[in-house]
Amino acid sequence: MVEVGGNGPDRQAAERMPREIWVLVGTSFLIAIGYGIVAPALPVFVRSFEVGITAASLVISVFALVRLLFAPLSGTIVGRLGEVPTFTIGLGIVALSTGACAFAATYWQLLALRGLGGIGSTMFTVSALSLLIRLAPVHMRGRASGMWATGFLLGNVIGPLVGGGLVVVSLRTPFLVYAAVLVLVVCVALLMLRGSRPGNAPDAVVEPPARFRAALAHPAYRAALAASFANGWVVFGVRVALVPLFVVEAMGRSEAWSGIALAVFAAGNAATLVIAGRWADRRGRRPPVLAGLAVTAVATAVLGFLVDPVPFLVASLLAGMGSGLVNPPINAAVADVIGSRGRGGTVLAGFQMVADLGAIVGPVAAGALAEVAGYGAAFALSGAAAVVALCFWLRAPETLPAASARATP
């Protein structure tokens, strides 16, 4: 399934990123802004129904849980309907469910609507990544993945700022604004992505969808799954769940320092995403992944032992940079395994599921260990998750065609 093609610097310089990739980057930015707009309002809105903290947390968790459970079916839908229809249907579901949240009259209505939104979310996430893989030329996959991830990151930074201002108007206003943003994205997608063809073979016929079992036999895909799980554990799980608690309880600092630490992590992430994509396209997928996992493992493992703010922020910055180095090349490696002519619905769904699983398991396991052995052990365990992924990648072959050719006499 790994493709063969040229990857010289002259070709990279002469060829521009396909227009459809820029459309996907722009839509990811708008989607992330909308998600960030809702984030500040949702917990407060749930509490307005006079429920406890656990019930309020369930509304937030049900979104991720439904994403995890529905991911395999969403991959099948992509294989049958295609990326663009699945993308627009998924966004439409999220738009309708989010807009309806503004009119929820009971807690249970809000819970059901958030669960429905999780179904749409996994549909457009899997289809967007599948479309990105098919449209990006082989030698531009790393950069395309980096641009796409950067769009999400910047949207997640800007969105909460906008959402904080909308909450002043009404707790229900952010949901209506997010729904309107998603309707705009659906219109753009239908207009700009219809009839899109693979970037490596404009006149090629799309092959049957790639199978998860076949991809799992490839050591590079197994390594990508391990890295995706570690990324979900460290970045989307422990970073959000334990860092704020560590700052307040262990460092004795105010909650404002938690926001600073998370912002520094995001800055480090943003600084290396595009660099990692270019590195992966020029030198191969393995070098940036190995470097990123090593940096992430060390920086995460020492976090729990740093009670002084300056070293703690430096470690947070390095952890963010390491994470940024990992994301684009593992996406590109999965794309290499799938190939441009086939849809990778179930393969990408599995790839997404392990990240969601890591985000669910990581905080629970690390949190339980923190209660028994302290924060140092909890962050060390999280660093060990990155070490395990690093071991997988040490044994994985290179998937970038030109890099593989240079490595083989």
Tell me, yes or no, whether 244 and 375 share the same domain.
yes
- Give the helix, strand, coil percentages of the chain, each rounded to 5: 80, 0, 20
Task: Establish if 289 belongs to a structural domain.
Answer: yes
∠ CA 214-80-119 to the nearest 5 degrees?
95
Q: Would 202 be classed as within a structural domain?
A: no
Of the listed ranges 22-31, 47-56, 105-114, the one predicted with least confidence:
47-56
DSSP H helices, 237-308, are: 239-241, 243-245, 255-283, 286-303
Give the bridge partners for 342, in sequence order. 207
Q: Are 206 and 34 in contact (CB under 8 A)?
A: no
Which stretch, 101-110, 158-167, 188-197, 290-299, has highest mean pLDDT?
290-299
Mark whether 95 and 228 lie in a shared domain: no
pLDDT on residue 384: 94
Q: Quick one: 154 and 96 in the same domain?
A: yes
Residues 225 and 365 in one domain: yes
Average pLDDT, the chain: 81
Comparing 347 with 288, the larger pLDDT belongs to 288
Residues in the chain: 409
Which pLDDT score, from 0 to 100, does residue 195 have?
61
In a domain, 403, yes or no: no
Residue 4 lies in a domain: no
Q: What is d(CA 298, CA 321) in angstroms, rounded to the nearest whole number? A: 12
Please check whether residues 177 and 229 belong to one and the same domain. Answer: no
pLDDT at position 197 is 54
The answer as to whether 216 is a domain residue is yes
Q: Please check whether residue 198 lies inside any domain of the structure.
A: no
Same domain, 110 and 44: yes
Q: What tokens appear for 384 in the block?
A: 């060990």
Angle 141-341-125 (CA atoms, 0-180°, nearest 5)? 60
Among 192, 220, 244, give the residue marking a domain's end.
192
- At which of 192, 227, 252 does a domain end? 192
Looking at the structure, do residues 161 and 243 belong to the same domain, yes or no?
A: no
Same structural domain, 260 and 388:
yes
Check whether residue 256 and residue 383 sit in a common domain. Answer: yes
DSSP string over 16-83: PPPHHHHHHHHHHHHHHHHHHHHTTHHHHHHHTT---HHHHHHHHHHHHHHHHHHHHHHHHHHHHH-H
Same domain, 161 and 235: no
pLDDT, position 196: 59
| pLDDT surpasses 80 at 341 | no
Model confidence at 298, in pLDDT bands (50, 70, 90)?
very high
| Residue numbers of the domain that contains 221 | 212-398
The enclosing domain of 148 has a CATH number of 1.20.1250.20
With a pLDDT cut of 70, the percent of the chain lying above it is 87
Is 349 a residue whose pLDDT tops 70?
yes
Whole-number Cα distances in Å, 217 to 63, 222, 337? 31, 8, 10
Q: What integer pLDDT is reported at residue 12 of this predicted model? A: 46
> Do residues 77 and 222 both lie within one domain?
no
Residue 408 lies in a domain: no
pLDDT in tens, 148-196: 888 877 887 777 777 777 877 888 888 999 999 999 888 888 888 776 5
For the segment 12-33, the average pLDDT, to the nearest whole number, is 77
Q: Which residue, 158, 192, 226, sits at the end of a domain?
A: 192
- Three-state DSSP class for 207? strand
How many domains would you assign to the chain?
2
Give the pLDDT score at 10: 42
* Residue 152 covered by a domain: yes
The whole-number average pLDDT for the span 255-268 is 79
Nearest alpha carbon to residue 356 among 38, 74, 2, 47: 74
pLDDT at 344: 60
Among the residue ranges 2-11, 202-211, 286-295, the one predicted with the least confidence is 2-11
| Separation CA 124–CA 74 (nearest Å) | 9
pLDDT, position 4: 37
| Greater model confidence, 6 or 45 | 45
Residue-level pLDDT at 286: 93
At 354-402, the pLDDT tens digits run: 888 888 888 888 888 888 888 899 899 999 999 999 999 999 999 887 6
User: Is residue 121 scored above 80 in pLDDT?
Assistant: yes
Domain identity same for 73 and 144: yes
